[in-house]
Amino acid sequence: MNVPRLPAGEPHETSVLEVMHSLGYSDKDTFDIEPRVDIGRVSIVHGAHCEVIWSDHTGTEQTSDCRLSPSPAQRPVAGDWVRLSDGKITHVMTRRSALQRPDPNGRDVQVLAANLDLVLLVVPINRGLNVRMLERFAIMAWESGAQPFVVLTKSDAARNIAALMQETALAVPGVEILTTSSESGEGIEHLRALLHEGVTAVMLGASGAGKTSLLNALEGSAEVTRSVTRSGEGRHATTTRKLYRLNAGGVLLDIPGIRLLDLLVGQEGVNETFADIGELAVNCRFRDCAHNGDLGCAVEAAVVSGALARRRLENWRAVQSELTHQEHRRSPEEMARGRRSRPAPTADDRNRDD
């Protein structure tokens, strides 16, 4: 455990820690608070500027509008801890977790939010459950290094909730599920209890899933929400990623809706989300079994015996092929070279001096 090093007997330093705690600082953070060093947390990034909430050395809370450095390595996102000097960001602390998706240019990744404990998978159930979407959000959450947690929304307008919860549990095994309604208040108290001091959570969900409404229900606040079209296009209410400090003591990031196509698929996240298939695969004859007509495949045998839903395997295959496609997109050189056994050198490889 990483206990912040603070000199004893200096009352103002205690207040520095208080401000830090109100910003979500916890023993999971791997940096120390040093005397006379200004540390803060990025609450929102807009264009070439970002807002940082920080404590000066007397423990007085400050909010600064900081210019971003043009170097991408120093480019903070909402949730980042930063060191400041004269109101300028001098250092972005190493992230202990990060929610990422493919960059719109398709070749890189974009960090959406940093230093998270919980990723709330916000999925509406008023029109049934979108399993494909839920699975992909779960993959993205597992990849982030934070704990996924499913928040099913709009329960007031849903039917057959027990069946939907069962379907959810099958899609994301091992992940806790909570049903909520921002209209009736169902589940809001439970959610509030989850978001206590020291917890940083982000809401991941499609546009119109009810993320901002949850924030309002939790806080009694009135951030603007607006109905969205069925396709989720064109009328996104939330356009920035922003960190809110909750009355419950925790910190919650509200981000714009994520489209299915924008999701980052990673092998680790796939393995966690499809842990049931992984368990069965232990008994496949070949270690690299593709569970697709391979000899001695235990996964396909489970589908035949009824132990595994066929749809589950089909979804796994779809995600696997997306993963391959994304890897190629991120590495066009490799694609151009065709299927050679040796992967194309990455920038890191080229910088090695061997």
Question: Which residue ranges make up the site for Zn ion (CB under 5 A)?
Answer: 284, 289, 291, 297, 299
Should residue 238 be labelled a site residue for Mg ion when binding is judged by CB under 5 A? yes
Give, as ranges, the residues between 178 and 217 that touch Mg ion (CB under 5 A). Answer: 211-212
211 interacts with ligand GTP by CB under 6 A = yes
Shortest separation between residue 277's beta carbon and Zn ion, angstroms: 9
Instruction: Tell me how far, at minimum, the Cβ of 126 lies from ligand GTP, in Å.
Output: 6
Stretch binding ligand GTP (CB under 6 A), from 220-228, 241-249, 274-282, 283-291: 220-228
One-letter amino acid identity for 222? A
User: Is 262 one of the binding residues for ligand GTP (CB under 6 A)?
Assistant: no
* Residue 207 in contact with ligand GTP, rule: CB under 6 A: yes
Q: How far is it, in rounded angstroms, from Cα 349 to Cα 269? A: 25
The H or E element that residue 142 is part of is helix 131-144
Secondary element (H or E) of residue 330:
helix 310-330
If one asks whether residue 212 binds ligand GTP (CB under 6 A), the answer comes out as yes
d(C-alpha 218, C-alpha 247), whole Å: 8
Quote the CA–CA distance of 159 and 68 in Å, as a whole number.
48
Task: Give the list of residues 6+ apart from residue 308 with CB closer than 8 angstroms, or none.
Answer: 276, 277, 280, 299, 302
Q: Confirm if 45 and 76 have CB atoms less than 8 A apart.
A: yes
Number of neighbouring beta carbons within 10 Å of residue 21: 14
Cβ contact 296:274 at 8 Å: no
Q: Residue 101 binds which one of Zn ion, Mg ion, ligand GTP, none, with CB within 5 to 8 A depending on kind?
A: none
Find the shortest distance in angstroms from Cβ 238 to Mg ion.
Answer: 3
The encoded tokens of residue 318 equal: 């779809």
Residue whose CB is less far from Zn ion, 195 or 303: 303
Of 70-78, 134-142, 180-188, 334-342, the window that binds ligand GTP (rule: CB under 6 A) is 180-188
Position 187 contacts ligand GTP (CB under 6 A): no
For the chain, how are helix, strand and coil distributed in percent, rounded to 5?
A: 30, 20, 45
Which CB, 293 or 338, lies closer to Zn ion?
293
Q: Is residue 157 involved in binding ligand GTP (CB under 6 A)?
A: yes
Only one residue has tokens 């998706």, namely 101
Residues found near Mg ion in the complex (CB under 5 A): 211-212, 237-238
Residues found near ligand GTP in the complex (CB under 6 A): 126, 153-154, 156-157, 181-183, 205, 207-213, 225-228, 236-238, 256-257
